[in-house]
Chains A and B, each alone.
Chain A
Amino acid sequence: MSKIWWTAAATAAAALITAAFVTATDSSGTPDDGMLVLVGQGTHRDDPLHFQLRGKPVKGLYPGAVKQMRITVVNPLGFRLRVQSLSAQVSGSNRRGCHAESQNLQIRQFSRPLPITVPVGRTDLSGFFPITMPRGAPRTCAGARFTITISGVGRRVTR
């Protein structure tokens, strides 16, 4: 009787472990190289994992000013990430006469080439998003506060 129990238990455990490894290596959402696709913004339900993007607010913009918006990646996932893309866009403004559009505020591409590998935990990226206020920005933008939404996509680093 005990042999039967032992055999059943061992079989069940082996089956579970095998299934888990198959899942990990075959159906993790990355058919090519076994990496995971990770979305920083967290808007897609189907994406399996998320990391966080943080940054410090930019202050003191004025016509002709170029400021640097630095980004910090918070990786809570327990493995290294390779950040494949980062994007930022002006998504709002608190002033009626100063809309969130390129005539009033412009964001250029991330200054550093991607991908960037980040370890577990918090990493201050060496690059930045250049934030530019055009010289012709209207007077109504004085004192305005723009909202900038940033997002990124990364993959798990397996080796």
Chain B
Amino acid sequence: MRRTGKVLLIVAVVASLGVAGTVLAYAGGWVVSVGPARLTANVATMPQGVEPSVARQDGQAVVSWSAQEIAPGVRMDHYVVTAHSADDPPRPDIIHTVGAGRGPAETLVFTMAEMTGGKWRWSVAPKYRGWTGEMSRLSQRLVFPAAPAPRVAATPGKGPATKPAPATAAASGAPAGEAGAEPATPPPTAPEPAPATSDSEQPESAPQPVLSAPDPAGSSAS
């Protein structure tokens, strides 16, 4: 009995301590430490431009490239398209900033007046709200023969064969005028007061188209 009592006493004390410890822990006696909760927020990178494909059509350069996104589902809003002279000595670059279209591809036309008599390659850089991505690799080179006569000083009967068209930007599948927030200049098919039919029929007094970039603020020649 005496031995049994001692054993029971020990068991009771141990059990009491266990219960007490549990209750203390439950009440706040333990400190469960955790590290500071830190999360990350990653900003998208501006992609490099897509190398454009180029083609010569009626003395103009048609530059095309795939539309790009800064994040899934978020298209670039502008593109900076640069014509780099491959002449020696080189001519100044021709830079046009155009609003993005809605389609999967973008197109920009450099006019005959801009291209004539030169060798050119093109690059494209995407823009989104002031952020500009890296310039793409240069396109293949196109060669444009010199015009037969100066454009402005043309005398009656010696004007350019085709009126130089302003640079136009258009998303495939969308009209040029709806290409983006800053719509492109209407394409060369826009109504003109006296359409020329040939070199010899171009009158001196015929209105000359003004070379204008689709985005006046972002267009320049350097």
**Assuming the A-B contacts A19-B20, A52-B34, are A57 and B13 also in contact, with contact meaning beta carbons closer than 8 angstroms in the complex?**
no
Chain A contact residues: helix, strand, loop or mixed: mixed
Contact with A along B87-121 (1 / 0, CB 8 A): 00000000000000000000000000000000000
Residues of A within 8 A of B30 (CB): 48-49
Residues of A contacting B131 with CB < 8 Å?
Answer: 62-63, 139, 142
A61 in contact with B42 (CB, 8 Å): yes
CB distance from B57 to the nearest CB of A (A): 35
A125 within 8 A of partner (CB): no
B4-40 vs A, Cβ < 8 Å mask (1 yes, 0 no): 0110110011011101100110111111111111111
**Complex: A82 Cα to B37 Cα, angstroms:** 18
Q: Is the CB of A148 within 8 A of B41?
A: yes
Asked if A114 is at the interface of the complex by the 8 Å CB criterion, the answer is no
Decide: B31 and A43 in contact? CB cutoff 8 A. Answer: no
A122 within 8 Å of B (CB atoms): no
- From B35, B72, B131, residue with most partner A Cβ within 10 Å: B131
Point out the residue from A43, A57, A151 that lies within 8 Å of B41, measured CB to CB: A57
Interface size on B, residues (CB 8 A): 45
Closest partner residue, chain B, to A65 (CB atom): B71
| A-B Cβ contacts below 8 A, count | 175
Task: Decide if A23 is an interface residue (CB 8 Å cutoff).
Answer: yes
Complex: how many Å from CA A61 to CA B132?
15
Bound together, the chains give a CA A105 to CA B35 distance in angstroms of: 24
Residues of A contacting B191 in the complex (Cβ-Cβ under 8 angstroms): none
Interface string of A1-35 (1 = CB under 8 A from B): 11001101110110011011101110111000000
Give chain A nearest CB distance to B169 CB in angstroms: 22
Question: Of A10, A28, A142, A148, which one neighbours B43 at CB under 8 angstroms?
Answer: A142
Residue of chain B at shortest CB distance from A105: B41
In the complex, chain B residues whose CB is within 8 Å of the CB of A91? 38
Q: B138 in the interface, Cβ–Cβ < 8 Å? A: no
- A-B CB contact pairs (8 Å), 17 listed: A6-B8, A12-B12, A16-B16, A16-B19, A17-B20, A19-B20, A20-B19, A27-B27, A42-B33, A49-B30, A55-B37, A57-B39, A57-B41, A57-B42, A62-B128, A69-B41, A149-B38
Q: A interface vs B, CB < 8 Å?
A: 1-2, 5-6, 8-10, 12-13, 16-17, 19-21, 23-25, 27-29, 36, 40-43, 45, 47-65, 67, 69, 76-79, 90-91, 98, 105, 131, 133, 135-136, 139, 141-151
A sample of 18 more A-B contacts (CB under 8 A), given A17-B19, A24-B24, A59-B42, is A2-B1, A20-B19, A23-B23, A24-B23, A36-B28, A41-B37, A58-B40, A58-B42, A63-B128, A63-B131, A91-B38, A139-B130, A142-B44, A142-B46, A146-B41, A146-B42, A146-B43, A149-B37
